[in-house]
Amino acid sequence: MIRLEQFTQADFKQLIEWITDEELLMNWSGSLFSFPLTEESLAWYIEDTNDPHTSDAFVYKAVDTETNEVVGHISLGGISRKNRSGRISRVLVGNTGQRGRGVCQEMIRAVLKVGFEQLGLHRIALGVYDFNQGAIGCYTKAGMVLEGTSRDSLYFNGSYWSLTEMSMLEAEWEQRFGQRKAVPAQVTT
């Protein structure tokens, strides 16, 4: 099983060690970061995150509950309280020995649970580069629904990468996992 814990400065070194080359960095973060990943850029990345009342981003490390080993990283950002929506991003099973064992699915389900049950979101989306068939399979098994592809959305090392868009709605979460949703906070405009 996977437990999500707040990603802090104490976790920077491990994430930097996992991101070993520029292509992996681009696949993980798109153009948000430059290679090599640095502690300074990660400090910026976690500023103003993880406050359930004010943050528009939640950044987590994924911990194996049996071993207490940190095995991955995931974030839920782009939170719109008005639209009750968010976006999963920067999903990484960093411990390569854990890949192919369902860790990714557990990470996705855990962050969906946060979004739907704690934050009261209605829609949670994500984007994955279309060549990453392993991730697309993981997200599909976790219940994400394919929406379409944004063609040639990122230019990297002389070629374009297309982004596959996926999402889940709160009714799909409830149907699949039978969980009550949180009551969303009142939004004033």
DSSP string, 71-101: EEEEEEEEEETTTTEEEEEEEEE-SGGGTTT
Closest by alpha carbon to 5, among 48, 44, 50? 50
Query: 60-72: per-residue pLDDT in tens?
Result: 999 999 999 999 9
Task: Cite the DSSP H helix spans in 32-80.
Answer: 39-45
Q: Are 163 and 128 in contact (CB under 8 A)?
A: yes
Q: Give the pTM.
A: 0.90
Residue 189: its pLDDT value, please? 31
123-168: pLDDT as tens digits: 999 999 999 999 999 999 999 999 999 999 999 999 999 999 999 9
Q: In order of start, what are the domains of the chain with their CATH numbers?
A: 2-177 (3.40.630.30)
Q: With cut-offs at 50, 70 and 90, classify the pLDDT of residue 186.
A: very low
Q: Cα separations (Å) of 47 from 28, 54, 70, 131, 161? A: 19, 12, 21, 31, 29
Mean pLDDT of the chain: 91
